[in-house]
Structure 1
Amino acid sequence: MSAAYVMSDCWTMTRRELAHWARQPVQVVVGLIFPIMMLLMFGYLVGGGRGIEGEYVDFLVPGMLTLTMVFGLEGTMTAVTQDLDKGVIDRFRSMPMADGAVLVGRSVADMLQSATGLLLMTGVGYVIGWRAHGGFGAFLGAMGLLLLLRFAMLWIGIHLAMIAGRAELVQAVQILVWPIGFLSNAFAVPESMPGWLGTVVAWNPMSATATAVRDLFGNPGGEPGHVVAAVVWPLVLLAVFFPLAVRKFRRLSV
């Protein structure tokens, strides 16, 4: 099967997912607004940030951008399980289509929404006083790291969705994402936490991305040298879960 054929199949499946946006605009809008609400809530209601040098909003916004890349997977997970329940994926598998094109199409659509969400979040961040001081190249690098983390988390979600198999089980699986998001340095520095908890937070892949992004933005909490970890962690997760998801897809209904 030629690369052009595979790309054509993947783009067809991407268009299918984008067509769902037009039919379900409320779901898309809610997905974009929810992280903005969290940013405003933590910035104005819960904000404080023990042990943080400088303005808390400059520390918070990069953390919230990172947290947004980890959360919000339930939309993709639900879409995958609904296609499984309705037999849509079995029908696609019976067609002369590239293996995994359905999953790639779903992931591309999710990444487009994630990129849109990042732009909205950075815009809101500027409104509430956050600034990126690292230059345009560093800004693009930080955005790239955030989207790389999202891409890795997305394939974990797709794999777990196919294991769950039913939409009603997605909520139970989604709960597993919350500890990853909150046991991180998104809202506070590890030094302000109990020793054992700070160690767990420091080893969280999301913390590596948040620290690297803060450094590229020139914000408090950033440390040089974390860009490598912010690249390696997602690539390791992708190396594990991407082939697992494709393998699980190939074995459906076998």
Structure 2
Amino acid sequence: MTALARRGDGGALADGLALLGRHLLRVRRAPGLFVLTQAMPLILLLFFGYVFGSALTLPGDGGYRSYLLPGLFTAVAAGGLMTGMMQAAQDAQRGVADRFRTLPISRAAVPLGQAAADVLVTAAGLIPLALVGWAVGWRVEAGAGPVLGAYGLLLLFRFATCWAGIHLGLLLRDEEAAAQLGSATFVLQLVSGAYVPTSGMTGWLRAVAEWNPLSAVAAACRGLFGGPAAGLADVPGAAWPMAHPVAASVGWSLVLLAVFVPSAVRRYARGGR
């Protein structure tokens, strides 16, 4: 039985909130990873939006850049996989996790505090991307409710991917290995509908991309934000996640949480073994 079960959900939540400040302070003192993960979407916006955008014709005044912004929001949300992995591996390799295990707190507290802090930092980090996107032509044409729903969906997905990253980081227990694997996760963004419509992909690649969770989240955000790009995923032959992107996005997030929250807590409690 884990410490989470012994203390109950209330104890785990209270301990996790107590450790939330530690993880926020950690970002403040070592902002490199935060800057990297938040600056990269801005670079991709300027590069893809003006280099690839000149070769792609999509409807609407914003053109390709209006299509690209929700995909970049999704990339930020998926970045929880890399940050969760690197921070967990760092704590494990440097012995910080072992010291926390000696304290009389829930075994779920440290990963919960890390994931919660990551979501708060991401919520703030989405603002600069939205402002730059607005400056280059992206517009929101939906009401406040759908827009808040889109941001909530992004943060839910970030929370879920962060737990997946924490599990992998505790499994690797090595900062360098986590950094290399984290960089490789960029492939998940490329094989999805985040940057280009999946309808133009070849058969097998389209199937892989449309069942990629990032494709569903990006399509859901496009639909919730509104605008000309909202209906581009609704094409004949689209897989179920693309035809029902909001439901698929919530489903993918819940599946990730159901798998990786208990596995990350168990691995943390066993010291990564």
Task: State if a TM-score over 0.5 links the two structures.
Answer: yes
Q: 2:252 aligns with which of 220, 226, 233?
A: 233
TM-score normalized by the length of structure 2:
0.86
Secondary structure, aligned partner of 2:117: helix
Q: Are the structure 2 counterparts of residues 152 and 95 from structure 1 closer, same or farther at C-alpha, using a change threshold of 3 Å?
A: same
**How far is 1:50 from its partner?**
4.2
Aligned length: 254
**Cα distance in 2 for residues equivalent to 1:136 and 1:253:** 43
Q: Are the structure 2 counterparts of residues 49 and 133 from structure 1 closer, same or farther at C-alpha, using a change threshold of 3 Å?
A: farther
TM-score normalized by the length of structure 1:
0.92
**Cα distance in 1 for residues equivalent to 2:78 and 2:120:** 15
CA RMSD of aligned residues (A): 2.0
Q: Are the structure 2 counterparts of residues 184 and 171 from structure 1 closer, same or farther at C-alpha, using a change threshold of 3 Å?
A: same
**Cα distance in 2 for residues equivalent to 1:250 and 1:140:** 36
**How far is 1:253 from its partner?**
6.5
The answer to whether the 8 Å contact 1:49/1:56 transfers is no
**Cα distance in 2 for residues equivalent to 1:72 and 1:99:** 21
- Tell me if 1:43 matches 2:43: no
Q: Which residue of 2 aligns with 1:99?
A: 107
**Cα distance in 1 for residues equivalent to 2:135 and 2:272:** 50
Q: CA-to-partner distance for each residue in 1:192-237, whole Å, 9 max, x for gaps?
A: 1212211111111111111111011113125473211111111111
Q: Are the structure 2 counterparts of residues 145 and 222 from structure 1 closer, same or farther at C-alpha, using a change threshold of 3 Å?
A: farther
Q: Which residue of 2 aligns with 1:122?
A: 130
Q: Are the structure 2 counterparts of residues 78 and 70 from structure 1 closer, same or farther at C-alpha, using a change threshold of 3 Å?
A: same
Q: Are the structure 2 counterparts of residues 10 and 199 from structure 1 closer, same or farther at C-alpha, using a change threshold of 3 Å?
A: same
- Tell me if 1:243 matches 2:251: no
The answer to whether the 8 Å contact 2:116/2:159 transfers is no
- Tell me if 1:78 matches 2:86: yes
Instruction: Give unpaired runs (5+ residues) of structure 2.
Output: 1-6, 235-242
Instruction: Give unpaired runs (5+ residues) of structure 1.
Output: none
**Cα distance in 1 for residues equivalent to 2:220 and 2:16:** 32
The farther-off stretch of 52-61 and 155-164 is 52-61
Q: Which residue of 2 aligns with 1:164?
A: 172
